[in-house]
Amino acid sequence: MMRSVITGSGSALPRTVLTNAELAERVDTSDKWIVERTGIHQRYIAQDDETTSSLAIDAARKALDAAGVDASEVDLIVLATATPDQTFPATATTVQHALGCNGGIAFDVAAVCSGFLYALATADSMLRTGMARRALVIGAETFSRILDWEDRTTCVLFGDGAGALVLEVQDVAGDGPGILSTRLHADGAHTDLLYVDGGPSTTQTVGHLRMKGREVFRHAVVNLAEVLGEVLDDAGFTACDIDWVVPHQANARILDATARKLGLPAEKVIITVDRHANTSAASVPLAFDTGVRDGRIKKGDLVMFEAMGGGFTWGASLVRL
């Protein structure tokens, strides 16, 4: 059967680390509060010469290298971001040109922290219907540019970065590798809980991120447990079969609560929120690449990706490597 198979991954982080202690000099917060409530110890922050596209290009090059694929062989780039370089053109086209694979399909997807799941599902559909053969699926963000650095309830939570996967359509056996099942959801009733208070069509400004964290937390735990159950049912697996969960890295407490609901041991969850904080659409591929490169995630493993974010949007995808 035709499946989209992950053949390589890569990631990129800005040069500069910002610790909790450094943040505590700017706003009324403390390392203790941030660590206890979120599990975050530090985040990476892009300097002026580092952009969403530069991080995406760096991550994409590493993913191509890992897959042994030449950029000229890529005919689809789907880039998830809520912090594009410009309103248009799509950041994916900037990445395409820098990599030297012009002529194929390239576009951005906006689903905030679930953006990578939406991008993965879009690329998977396009590959399996024959619109393309070899895709780069990228999550890349510079959330530091849309943070209100005087709002302690949000500025301590986010960081910048990028992650990329190479996805290739292959004819595989039933128990072979590939994306096995994916579910996506959105519920626009909750836009006021997590949003940016600006935009080209309203304020003509970029705006700042606003979040009612406690309410988002409550929805996240319920929605993620539900969607994980759906994806496992669709693919005919149970939580015990999962080798690794690679979740969106918003808060260590959400990751613990979701693992507990699934009955999964915490050792099966890849956690990078301590080092990277919440990098929105970049967080899942960044965490996946971290787990692959440190040797934990291996070929043949059953891996669950999951994310929830502004909109609300949420989703999960079960993949055999």
Q: What is the binding site for ligand UT7 (CB under 6 A)?
A: 29, 33, 37-38, 113, 152-153, 156-157, 213-214, 216-217, 220, 250-251, 254, 278, 308-309
Q: Tokens in use for 198?
A: 């600006």
Q: Is 248 a catalytic residue?
A: yes
Which of 113, 155, 208, 223 is an active site residue?
113
The rounded distance, in Å, linking the Cα atoms of 281 and 139 is 5
By beta-carbon proximity to ligand UT7, the closer residue of 71 and 257 is 257
Which of 101, 248, 251, 276 is an active site residue?
248
The rounded distance, in Å, linking the Cα atoms of 37 and 209 is 19
CB of 211 within 8 A of CB of 311?
no
Question: 183: part of which helix (H) or strand (E)?
Answer: strand 178-186
Residue 90 beta carbon to ligand UT7: minimum distance, rounded to whole angstroms: 22
By beta-carbon proximity to ligand UT7, the closer residue of 3 and 208 is 208
CB of 109 within 8 A of CB of 313?
no
Nearest to 24 by CA among 16, 33, 15: 33
Nearest-5° angle of CA 31, CA 16, CA 109? 95
Q: Is 223 a catalytic residue?
A: no
By beta-carbon proximity to ligand UT7, the closer residue of 75 and 160 is 160
The rounded distance, in Å, linking the Cα atoms of 211 and 249 is 16
Number of H helices, E strands in the chain: 10, 13
According to DSSP, the residues that pair with 19 across neighbouring strands are 42
Residue 217 beta carbon to ligand UT7: minimum distance, rounded to whole angstroms: 4
The rounded distance, in Å, linking the Cα atoms of 122 and 76 is 11
Residue 218 beta carbon to ligand UT7: minimum distance, rounded to whole angstroms: 9
Residue 94 beta carbon to ligand UT7: minimum distance, rounded to whole angstroms: 25
Nearest to 288 by CA among 1, 59, 30: 59
Which residue is closest to ligand UT7 by CB?
Answer: 213
List, in order, residues 6 or more apart from 230 with CB less than 8 Å away: 183, 316
Residue 51 beta carbon to ligand UT7: minimum distance, rounded to whole angstroms: 21
Residue 302 beta carbon to ligand UT7: minimum distance, rounded to whole angstroms: 25
Nearest to 223 by CA among 246, 248, 243: 248
Residue 153 beta carbon to ligand UT7: minimum distance, rounded to whole angstroms: 4
Helix, strand, coil percent content, the chain, rounded in steps of 5: 40, 30, 30
By beta-carbon proximity to ligand UT7, the closer residue of 6 and 40 is 40
By beta-carbon proximity to ligand UT7, the closer residue of 112 and 166 is 112
By beta-carbon proximity to ligand UT7, the closer residue of 143 and 244 is 143
By beta-carbon proximity to ligand UT7, the closer residue of 89 and 213 is 213
Nearest to 77 by CA among 123, 113, 17: 123
Half-sphere exposure of 162 (CA within 13 A, CB side): 36
Question: Hey, which residues are catalytic here?
Answer: 113, 248, 278
